[in-house]
Structure 1
Amino acid sequence: MHDTYVHRYDASESTRLRDQAGTLEDLLHGDTCFPAGSEVLEAGCGVGAQTVALARRSPDARITCVDIAASSLREAEARALAAGLDGVRFHRADLCALPFAEASFDHAFVCFVLEHLPRPDLALAELRRVLRPGGSLTVIEGDHESALFHPDDDAARAAIRCLMDLQRATGGDACIGRRLYPLLREADLRDVSVSPRLVYVDASRPALVEGFIRRTFIAMIAGVKTAAIMAGLTDAPTFDAGIRALHRTTATDGVFCYTFFKAVGRRT
């Protein structure tokens, strides 16, 4: 999974992930609470951006976090300790080859990970394997083509397309959110339900203007500039024009919308 992460492993991406998690916590995690004493696996925890929210909302669950990037795990563990979550365990592992016996966990959680995998079906099969009968799998993903904004702008859409094309080149799918229902069904999970989580932002919501448009979405697109130019997808002036157009949506007459998808299924 290391080579498929298009956003880079660096300090700016770590900051973006923390901003994203903080801004979207209620929207994405407000209805997630794991029972006391349950064994929970967070797969692909990265720098722990989602871990703190999960643990805070399920304080009596036992959470095990795995990721393939050692540097990310070190940061995730430090963040958990700083938040007083010393009961969370961390292991380095490949999501498609988990080092756990079958039926080890009551619940599993994966967020913003499947979009980067060439074979999300293999990851889902592995997650199902480690779930106990009746256990749940929760998956959260986005869909970059769901971005709608005013003023609309071709350069902005071209910049977004650069990220999508880079992700596709590594076997990923930046629009995987719309595929969660069939993917979970094909993984032999039952009682699958999917709920769209719309982020709507205008000038009356300054926290989202800053936290989501600027520090999450635009930062994500801007972060692939060098890679997009090197891949021949764009040039600097064109890409910069797209970023300026995205920033234009943060003006007093701007509007921005984006849809995440949250899916829950159970192992029979």
Structure 2
Amino acid sequence: MTEYVHGYSEREALRLSEQAETLEKLLHHDTIYPPRAKVLEAGCGIGAQTVILAKNNPEAEITSIDISPESLEKARENVARNGFENVRFLQANIFSLPFEAESFDHIFVCFVLEHLQNPEEALKNLKKVLKPGGTLTVIEGDHGSCYFYPEGRNALDAWHCLIRVQAQMKGNSLIGRQLYPLMQMSGLREIRVEPRMVYADLSKPELVNGFVLKTIIPMVEGVKNQAMEMKMMEEEAWKKGIEELHQTAGPEGTFCYTFFKGRGTK
């Protein structure tokens, strides 16, 4: 397990919630489980995705785990605030799960593998607690899929800092494109991986606001300290890069990014 590259600040918690709400239809419209299904959410973080899972699957029995007690506390608060009672929380490590084999009908993993040094091992470990015929759903982004206009040089450099910082921390922000082989190597079958692209311009103000301004740019800003410490950019160039990224949310700007959603069966 690597350190969470974006940190655990209140701003990051807000960013995660904004991201989940903005992308709910794109990523989760087909994350539906039958009544009484036992579902494991592995790596729930602050519960941004948990709230959506609980809302869309009110009759499922959801167990959400995370390694961070601070994140779990925020997740409990988020779920309770929304009035959902079909989720139980447990502090646990994906690499040493406290469950018997074949305990769950379905497993859900969202924005987790990118932070792990050995995602294939994580998937194999999760598969052990999945019942035969059950499904494992994985959602990841791919920072290499990003392009935007205007394409400022400093903005590109700042964006690449995000990729490089995560690599230095033994994570992989390009993992979206690798979902199919990772799921295949873990032993899953009937694997299907679909790209889910976000394209934003001012004709889609909800995406410009919720995705570009409240999700993407704060995510880049969140690695400033690491990028400066690693001398990836000069601070003045960094500031210009953030300014240029803001231009992509302006009248003549566009922004495009691709997520990948995979599903396999045990």
**TM-score range with shorter-chain normalisation?**
over 0.9
The 1-side partners of 2:170 and 2:127 are apart by: 22
Pairwise mapping of residues 33-112 of structure 1 onto structure 2 (< 5 A)?
Answer: 33-112=32-111
Deviations 1:191-221 (A, max 9, x none): 0000100101011111111100010001100
The 1-side partners of 2:125 and 2:82 are apart by: 30
Is contact 2:60-2:86 (8 Å) kept?
no
| SS, match of residue 259 in structure 1 | strand
Quote the residue 2:174 is aligned against.
Answer: 175
Quote the residue 2:235 is aligned against.
Answer: 236
Q: CA deviation at 1:87?
A: 2.4
Quote the residue 1:216 is aligned against.
Answer: 215
The 1-side partners of 2:250 and 2:181 are apart by: 38
The 2-side partners of 1:87 and 1:194 are apart by: 28
What amino acid is the match of 1:245? E
Quote the residue 1:161 is aligned against.
Answer: 160
**Under a length normalisation based on structure 2, what TM-score does the superposition of the two structures give?**
0.98
| SS, match of residue 48 in structure 2 | coil
The 1-side partners of 2:56 and 2:137 are apart by: 15
Mapped pair 1:195 → 2:207: no
Quote the residue 1:144 is aligned against.
Answer: 143
Quote the residue 1:27 is aligned against.
Answer: 26
Is contact 1:162-1:233 (8 Å) kept?
yes
What amino acid is the match of 2:19? Q
| SS, match of residue 221 in structure 1 | helix
The 1-side partners of 2:198 and 2:123 are apart by: 26
Off by >2 Å, runs of 4+ in structure 1:
none
Q: Which runs of 5+ in 2 are unaligned?
A: none
Deviations 1:212-258 (A, max 9, x none): 00100011001111111012211211111111111000111111100
Q: CA deviation at 1:10?
A: 1.1
What amino acid is the match of 2:181? P
The 2-side partners of 1:19 and 1:218 are apart by: 12
Deviations 1:29-63 (A, max 9, x none): 01110000100000000000000101111110000
Q: CA deviation at 1:79?
A: 0.8
Is contact 2:47-2:76 (8 Å) kept?
yes
Deviations 1:164-216 (A, max 9, x none): 11111121110100000000000000000001001010111111111000100
Percent identity reads 49
The 2-side partners of 1:122 and 1:242 are apart by: 37
The 1-side partners of 2:71 and 2:135 are apart by: 26
The 2-side partners of 1:129 and 1:157 are apart by: 41
Count of paired positions: 266
Is contact 2:54-2:86 (8 Å) kept?
no
Is contact 1:4-1:167 (8 Å) kept?
no
The 2-side partners of 1:252 and 1:89 are apart by: 45
Root-mean-square deviation (CA), in Å? 0.8
Quote the residue 1:125 is aligned against.
Answer: 124
Q: CA deviation at 1:78?
A: 0.9
What amino acid is the match of 1:110? V
The 1-side partners of 2:157 and 2:40 are apart by: 37
